[in-house]
């Protein structure tokens, strides 16, 4: 089982770890700050170092309770003490994008009853799909103005764990209908008080003012009632 450091502290940029399983280029660590990807947030980038030798992580995925990391070459063995560093500029941008996405989701839901049906975060631009019958660009610009106004209030983003059965009683806690939280005892909750609350396994900024300015880039029609909204943070 890999302890997921990023769930408790999204700001962990590096950590020591021990290799607990190794199979060729595929390894499992006892703990990791490296986000393996999921929920529309891409995996982190960065190396694992063993006694000065660097192994670049080229793939990552969760398998049960393990995070399986694939590195670019063999040479890591069970019992090795290693050091993991993540590309912080890249990750921090994704954190700002992720918290921005939660605010945009909340505004679109409140103002237009639009449900988020999918999302893909990126460091340069991100996109969210909304189920929305009519696309009105003037209104969309207003929604983004509201999202910016909320972000600039400097609201503290709260992350905590709740018993699954209690959490699922909170209305709207599962925002993406297609993504039911895993069948675990405790769910991780990301709450932007007064704006949004949802079960979420991604990394977030501590305060909404860290997002900066949210910029609407474009909107595409993707089917009858699906609007794909592209945005970035500056
Ligand atoms: Zn999220």
Q: Please check whether residue 192 is in contact with residue 109, taking contact to mean a CB–CB distance below 8 angstroms.
A: no
Q: How does the average pLDDT of the chain come out, rounded? A: 94
Q: Please check whether residue 122 is in contact with residue 90, taking contact to mean a CB–CB distance below 8 angstroms.
A: no
The pLDDT assigned to 172 comes to 82
In DSSP terms, 191 is beta-bridged to 158, 197
Share of the chain above pLDDT 90, in %: 86
The CA 41 to ligand 1 mean position distance, Å, reads: 8
The CA 102 to ligand 1 mean position distance, Å, reads: 6
124-171 pLDDT, tens digit each:
999 999 999 989 999 999 999 999 999 999 999 999 999 988 998 988
Question: All domains of the chain, ordered by start, with CATH?
Answer: 3-86 (2.40.30.130), 90-233 (3.30.980.10)
- Is it the case that residue 178 has pLDDT exceeding 60? no
DSSP sequence for 89-142: HHHHHHHHHHHHHHHHHHHHHHHH-PEEEEEE--SS-EEEEEE-SS--HHHHHH
The CA 115 to ligand 1 mean position distance, Å, reads: 14
The CA 95 to ligand 1 mean position distance, Å, reads: 10
The CA 206 to ligand 1 mean position distance, Å, reads: 14
Q: Please check whether residue 8 is in contact with residue 32, taking contact to mean a CB–CB distance below 8 angstroms.
A: no
Nearest to 160 by CA among 182, 185, 184, 191: 191
The pLDDT assigned to 174 comes to 80
* Paired tokens of 213: 């300015």
The CA 200 to ligand 1 mean position distance, Å, reads: 5
The CA 22 to ligand 1 mean position distance, Å, reads: 31
The pLDDT assigned to 183 comes to 73
The CA 202 to ligand 1 mean position distance, Å, reads: 6
Neighbours of ion ligand 1 (CB under 5 A): 200, 202
Residue 176's pLDDT band, with cuts at 50, 70 and 90, is: low
189-227 pLDDT, tens digit each:
999 999 999 999 999 999 999 999 999 999 999 988 999
């Amino acid at each position: 089982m890999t302890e997921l450091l990023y769930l408790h502290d999204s700001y962990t940029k590096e950590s020591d770890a021990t290799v607990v399983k190794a199979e060729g280029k595929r390894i499992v660590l006892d703990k990791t700050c490296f986000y393996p990807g999921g929920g529309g947030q891409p995996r982190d980038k960065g190396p694992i170092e063993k006694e000065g030798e660097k192994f670049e992580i080229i793939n990552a995925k969760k398998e049960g309770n393990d995070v399986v990391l694939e590195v670019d070459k063999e040479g890591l063995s069970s019992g090795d003490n290693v050091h993991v560093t993540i590309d912080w500029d890249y990750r921090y941008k994704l954190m700002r994008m992720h918290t921005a996405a939660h605010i945009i989701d909340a505004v679109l839901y409140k103002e237009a009853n639009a449900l988020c049906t999918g999302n893909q975060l990126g460091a340069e631009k991100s996109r969210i799909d909304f189920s929305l019958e009519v696309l009105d660009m003037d209104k969309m610009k207003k929604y983004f103005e509201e999202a910016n106004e909320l972000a600039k209030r400097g609201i503290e983003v709260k992350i905590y764990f709740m018993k699954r059965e209690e959490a699922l009683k909170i209305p709207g806690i599962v925002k993406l209908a297609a993504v039911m939280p895993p069948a675990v005892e405790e769910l991780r909750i990301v709450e932007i008080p007064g704006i949004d609350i949802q079960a979420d396994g991604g990394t977030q900024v501590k305060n909404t003012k860290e997002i900066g300015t949210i910029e609407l880039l474009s909107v595409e029609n993707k089917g009858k009632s699906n609007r794909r909204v592209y945005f970035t943070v500056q």
